[in-house]
């Protein structure tokens, strides 16, 4: 998350807030302009918890990001959580961390304290990057060619049609830099309605200009739409969209998935681990960063609209949101689907108890030992360069106790 420049003296910690701070990796004299946040997310239960944040200047270096990720996963494991996967966008530093950790060609995973962790890329970010790349280049596979010019031609033809099948506008055809960052714009462009419109104008309209590559373009757009639906499903079944359903042993997703290889391999591995237990399904939508994006949106709107808070404002707003369970994201300006996940129960009472029991000075706390109000909390990767949302499997009892919840923030 982008931050504004600003410095403030924290008399409680006897330090100036606003410089780059990577916790156990130390501070620098560079001003911080981004927040790096890590969030834990339940795979089968609807819970989430910001567990760490840091202040960084620009993009977090790959070596530092890798060290922080492994440190946080190890600490969460000590709290009793089973970390099964990480989720991040496709920033260069994130990709470099994954490449350095998951070196296998076939099985893309890495080990932390003897436990396997599968890395995933955020699906909405994949759709955006696919759409943005398609606008500037053709896609060729198996002798077929998909061309963006076909989409532009269909958009022009729809202007003179009595019926409009798509939601395409001039913003979709010639997006600004801000438009390119919006998931909705990419999803509406790479949609089944656009693919259907291309087929309609090609077959019914018999347009000679579209014949050469229209079918291939519609096929490509339809495949991307189906990939997005299959990885973003959160319901048991859908009569009109069979790919938008929970992942089961007989799901149609298995026959369809033949791209996005990193996510597909990881989804297969995690489902195989789940199928060995009593669980018979997996919710694919739990493998994206919507909860983290919604958290940033809530922080920006805390108290007042503040798109670029300073480090001090960000830390204060984040702690307040966690304590008051405001990590919701039901805001109009959010760039993703609102989520209804809850934060850990009993967190406020637990931190009050923890503060009474702990008499150490603030300077003796490691970066992940911040509680929620006065001590510094640790962080996760931001939207511009987010790294793993560590996804967790519940404890053997199927849920997390309050003591584990408090410990996750304290440690």
243-271 pLDDT, tens digit per residue, is 555 666 666 555 445 335 666 676 777 77
pLDDT at 381: 38
pLDDT at 206: 60
pLDDT at 244: 57
pLDDT at 33: 93
Tell me the average pLDDT across 23-48: 90
> Residue 28 belongs to what H/E stretch?
strand 27-31
Q: Of 374, 350, 295, nearest to 40 (Cα)?
A: 295
| Pair 226, 187: CB distance under 8 Å | no
- pLDDT tens for 279-313 read 666 676 666 677 777 888 888 887 677 778 889 88
- pLDDT beyond 90 at 400: no
pTM of the model: 0.65
- 188 compared with 353, residue with greater pLDDT: 188
pLDDT at 194: 93
- End-to-end distance of the chain based on CA atoms, in angstroms? 23
| Pair 341, 39: CB distance under 8 Å | no
pLDDT at 353: 46
- 339 compared with 133, residue with greater pLDDT: 133
Give the whole-angstrom CA distance, residue 116 versus residue 402: 26
- pLDDT beyond 70 at 138: yes
- pLDDT tens for 65-124 read 999 999 999 999 999 999 999 999 888 899 899 989 987 666 678 999 999 998 888 888
Instruction: Return the domain boundaries, the chain.
Output: 8-119+288-410, 127-232
Give the whole-angstrom CA distance, residue 37 versus residue 408: 14
Give the whole-angstrom CA distance, residue 266 versus residue 272: 10
Q: Which 8-state DSSP code applies to residue 342?
A: B
Give the whole-angstrom CA distance, residue 1 versus residue 308: 8
Tell me the average pLDDT across 345-358: 46
- pLDDT tens for 1-19 read 899 888 999 998 899 999 9
Residue bearing tokens 């896609």: 139
| Pair 40, 397: CB distance under 8 Å | no
- 122 compared with 64, residue with greater pLDDT: 64
Average pLDDT, rounded, for the chain? 75
Residue bearing tokens 């807030």: 17
Q: Positive or negative CA dihedral for 183, 175, 243, 126?
A: negative
Confidence band, pLDDT 50/70/90 cuts, at residue 354: very low
- pLDDT beyond 50 at 356: no
pLDDT at 312: 86
Tell me the average pLDDT across 234-249: 60
- The percent of the chain in helix, strand and coil, each rounded to the nearest 5, is 40, 15, 40
Confidence band, pLDDT 50/70/90 cuts, at residue 217: very high
- 377 compared with 175, residue with greater pLDDT: 175
For residue 217, CA distances in Å to 71, 141, 151, 196 come to 45, 11, 8, 11
- pLDDT beyond 60 at 376: no
Confidence band, pLDDT 50/70/90 cuts, at residue 237: low
For residue 112, CA distances in Å to 116, 212, 397 come to 7, 51, 23
- pLDDT tens for 144-182 read 889 999 999 889 888 887 878 889 999 999 999 888 888
């Amino acid at each position: 998350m982008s931050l504004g420049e600003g410095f403030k003296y924290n008399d409680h910690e006897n330090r100036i807030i606003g410089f780059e701070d990577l916790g156990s990796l130390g501070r620098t004299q560079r001003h911080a302009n981004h927040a790096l946040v890590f969030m834990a997310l339940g795979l089968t239960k609807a819970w989430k918890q910001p567990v760490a944040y840091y202040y960084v200047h620009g993009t977090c270096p790959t070596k530092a990001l890798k060290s922080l990720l492994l440190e946080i996963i190890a600490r969460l494991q000590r709290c009793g959580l089973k970390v099964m996967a990480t989720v991040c966008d496709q920033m260069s530093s994130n990709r470099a961390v994954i490449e350095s950790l998951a070196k296998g060609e076939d099985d893309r995973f890495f080990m932390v304290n003897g436990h396997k962790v599968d890395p995933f890329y955020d699906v909405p970010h994949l759709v955006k990057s696919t759409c943005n790349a398609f606008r500037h280049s053709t896609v060729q596979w198996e002798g077929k060619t998909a061309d963006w010019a076909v989409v532009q031609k269909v958009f022009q033809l729809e202007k003179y049609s009595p019926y409009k099948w798509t939601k395409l506008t001039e913003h979709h055809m010639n997006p600004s830099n801000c438009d390119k960052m919006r998931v909705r714009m990419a999803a509406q462009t790479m949609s089944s309605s656009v693919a259907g419109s291309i087929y309609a104008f090609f077959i019914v309209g018999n347009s000679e200009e579209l014949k050469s590559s229209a079918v291939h373009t519609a096929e490509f757009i339809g495949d991307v739409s189906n990939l997005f639906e299959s990885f973003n499903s959160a319901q048991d079944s859908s009569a009109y969209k069979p790919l938008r359903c929970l992942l089961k042993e007989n799901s149609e997703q298995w026959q369809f998935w033949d791209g996005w290889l990193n996510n597909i391999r990881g989804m297969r591995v995690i489902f195989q681990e789940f199928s060995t237990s009593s669980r018979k399904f997996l919710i694919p939508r739990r493998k994206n960063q919507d909860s983290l994006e919604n958290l940033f949106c809530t922080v920006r709107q805390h108290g007042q609209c503040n798109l670029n808070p300073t480090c001090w404002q960000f830390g204060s707003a984040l702690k307040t949101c966690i304590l008051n369970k405001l990590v919701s994201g039901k805001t109009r300006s959010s760039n993703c689907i609102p989520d209804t996940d809850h934060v850990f129960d009993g967190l406020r009472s637990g931190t009050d108890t923890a503060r009474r029991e702990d008499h150490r000075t603030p300077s003796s706390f490691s970066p992940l030992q911040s509680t929620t109000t006065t001590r510094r909390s640790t962080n996760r990767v931001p939207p511009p360069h987010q790294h793993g949302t560590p996804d967790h499997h519940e404890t053997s009892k199927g849920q997390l106790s309050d003591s584990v919840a408090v410990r996750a923030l304290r440690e």
